[in-house]
Structure 1
Amino acid sequence: MGSLSYSHFVIFPFLSQGHTIPLLYLSRLLRRRSVVVTLFTTAGNSPSIRASLQDIDVSIIELPLPHNIDGVSTGVENTDKLSVGSSFLPFARATEHMKESFEEALETLQPPVSCVVSDSFLWWTLKSAQKIGVPRLGFFGMGNFSATMYQILGRFRPHAGVDSVDEPFPMTHFPEVKLTRNDFDPPFGDFNSSGPFVDFIIDCGIALATSKGLIVNSFHELESRYVDYWNKNLGPKAWNIGPLCLAAEISKSENASYLQWVDEKREKKEPVLYVSFGTQAEISPEQFLEIAQGLERSGVSFLWALKYKDLNFLPEFESRIKGRGLVAEEWVDQLKILQHEGVKGFLSHCGWNSVIESISAGVPILAMPFMAEQHNARFVAEEVGVGLRIMPRNGSVRGFVAAAEVEMKVRELMGGGKVAEEVRKRVAECGGAAHAAMKEGGSSWRTLDLLLHNLVPKK
Structure 2
Amino acid sequence: MASTLQINSTHHSHFVLFPFMSKGHTIPLLHLARLLVNRAVSVTIFTTKANQPFISHFLKTAPEGTISIITLPFPSGINNIPLGVESTDTLPSISLFPQFAVATKLMQPYFEQSLNDLSNVTCIVSDGFLSWTLESANKFRIPRLTFYGMSGHASAVSYNVGVNRLLSGPESNDELITVPGFLWIKVTRNDFDEPFNMRDPSGPYMDFVVESGIASENSYGIIMNSFYEMESLFLDYLNNVKKPKPWCVGPLCLSEFDSVIDSVVKTESVTESKSKVIEWLDEKQAKGSSVLYVAFGSQAEISGPQMEAISAGLEESEVNFVWVIRKCEADVIISELGKRVGDRGMIVREWVNQIEILKHKSVNGFISHCGWNSVLESICAEVPILAWPMMAEQPLNARMVVEEIKIGLRVEMCDGSVRGFVKADGLKKTIKELMEGEKGKEARKRVREVGAAAKAAMADGGSSWRTLNELINEVQSVRMNCGKE
Q: TM-score range by the shorter chain?
A: over 0.9
Counterpart residue type for residue 192 of structure 1? D
After the TM superposition, which of the residue ranges 241-250 and 7-16 deviates more from structure 2?
241-250
After the TM superposition, which of the residue ranges 194-203 and 316-325 deviates more from structure 2?
316-325
* Among 377, 389, 396, the residue aligned to 1:369: 389
Asked if the contact 1:152/1:172 (under 8 Å) is kept, the reply is: yes
CA distance in 2, matches of 1:355, 1:163: 30
Asked if the contact 1:298/1:407 (under 8 Å) is kept, the reply is: yes
Deviations 1:258-277 (A, max 9, x none): 11000010111110000011
After the TM superposition, which of the residue ranges 366-375 and 312-321 deviates more from structure 2?
312-321
After the TM superposition, which of the residue ranges 170-179 and 155-164 deviates more from structure 2?
155-164
Asked if the contact 1:158/1:172 (under 8 Å) is kept, the reply is: no
The alpha carbon displacement at 1:222 in A equals 1.1
CA distance in 1, matches of 2:7, 2:51: 35
Deviations 1:371-394 (A, max 9, x none): 121101111111110000113211
The match for 1:221 is: 229
Counterpart residue type for residue 287 of structure 1? Q
Counterpart residue type for residue 349 of structure 1? H
* Among 62, 69, 75, the residue aligned to 2:71: 62
SS of structure 1 residue aligned to 2:260: coil
SS of structure 2 residue aligned to 1:251: helix
* Among 302, 321, 325, the residue aligned to 1:283: 302
CA distance in 2, matches of 1:222, 1:402: 33
Q: Percent identity?
A: 48
Structure 1: any 5+ residue segments left out of the alignment? Answer: none
The alpha carbon displacement at 1:3 in A equals 4.4
| Structure 2 residue 449 is the aligned partner of structure 1 residue 425 | no
Counterpart residue type for residue 233 of structure 1? V
CA distance in 2, matches of 1:309, 1:70: 25
Which structure 2 residues correspond to residues 19-418 of structure 1 after superposition, within 5 A? 19-56=25-62, 57-110=66-119, 112-248=120-256, 249-252=259-262, 256-311=275-330, 312-372=332-392, 373-415=394-436, 417-418=437-438
CA distance in 2, matches of 1:109, 1:49: 20
CA distance in 2, matches of 1:22, 1:91: 21
CA distance in 1, matches of 2:207, 2:251: 31
Asked if the contact 1:291/1:403 (under 8 Å) is kept, the reply is: yes
Deviations 1:343-388 (A, max 9, x none): 0000011111000000011000010111121101111111110000
Counterpart residue type for residue 254 of structure 2? L
SS of structure 2 residue aligned to 1:313: helix
| Structure 2 residue 473 is the aligned partner of structure 1 residue 453 | yes
More helix by share: 2
The alpha carbon displacement at 1:308 in A equals 3.4
Deviations 1:80-101 (A, max 9, x none): 1110122111111111111011
Structure 2: any 5+ residue segments left out of the alignment? Answer: 1-5, 263-270, 481-485
CA distance in 2, matches of 1:162, 1:401: 27
Shift of the 262–159 alpha-carbon distance from structure 1 to 2, 3 Å rule, reads same
CA distance in 1, matches of 2:51, 2:302: 25
Counterpart residue type for residue 44 of structure 2? T
CA distance in 2, matches of 1:158, 1:284: 30
SS of structure 1 residue aligned to 2:115: helix
CA distance in 1, matches of 2:187, 2:25: 26
SS of structure 1 residue aligned to 2:342: coil
CA distance in 2, matches of 1:171, 1:309: 39
After the TM superposition, which of the residue ranges 370-379 and 201-210 deviates more from structure 2?
370-379
Counterpart residue type for residue 96 of structure 1? K
SS of structure 2 residue aligned to 1:127: helix
Deviations 1:217-260 (A, max 9, x none): 11111111101110111121111100000011331569701110
Counterpart residue type for residue 337 of structure 1? I
CA distance in 2, matches of 1:305, 1:348: 11
SS of structure 1 residue aligned to 2:461: coil
CA distance in 1, matches of 2:180, 2:215: 25
CA distance in 2, matches of 1:119, 1:456: 20
Asked if the contact 2:298/2:327 (under 8 Å) is kept, the reply is: no
The alpha carbon displacement at 1:279 in A equals 0.5
CA distance in 2, matches of 1:2, 1:235: 25
The alpha carbon displacement at 1:157 in A equals 1.6
Deviations 1:126-158 (A, max 9, x none): 011111101100000111111111111111123
SS of structure 2 residue aligned to 1:326: strand
CA distance in 2, matches of 1:145, 1:213: 18
Counterpart residue type for residue 400 of structure 1? F
Asked if the contact 1:16/1:79 (under 8 Å) is kept, the reply is: yes
The match for 1:17 is: 23
Counterpart residue type for residue 260 of structure 1? E
Counterpart residue type for residue 305 of structure 1? V
Highest RCO, 1 vs 2 (Cα 8 Å, sep ≥ 6) = 2
Q: State TM-score, norm by structure 1.
A: 0.97
Counterpart residue type for residue 29 of structure 1? L
Shift of the 291–333 alpha-carbon distance from structure 1 to 2, 3 Å rule, reads same
Counterpart residue type for residue 395 of structure 1? G
CA distance in 2, matches of 1:184, 1:370: 10
SS of structure 1 residue aligned to 2:448: helix
Number of aligned pairs?
457
The alpha carbon displacement at 1:71 in A equals 2.0
CA distance in 2, matches of 1:314, 1:29: 39
SS of structure 1 residue aligned to 2:167: coil
SS of structure 2 residue aligned to 1:76: coil
Counterpart residue type for residue 348 of structure 2? A
The alpha carbon displacement at 1:165 in A equals 1.1
Query: Runs in 1 of length 4+ with deviation above 2 angstroms?
Result: 2-5, 158-163, 252-255, 307-310, 455-459
SS of structure 2 residue aligned to 1:165: coil
Counterpart residue type for residue 112 of structure 2? E
Asked if the contact 2:251/2:376 (under 8 Å) is kept, the reply is: yes
Shift of the 306–86 alpha-carbon distance from structure 1 to 2, 3 Å rule, reads closer
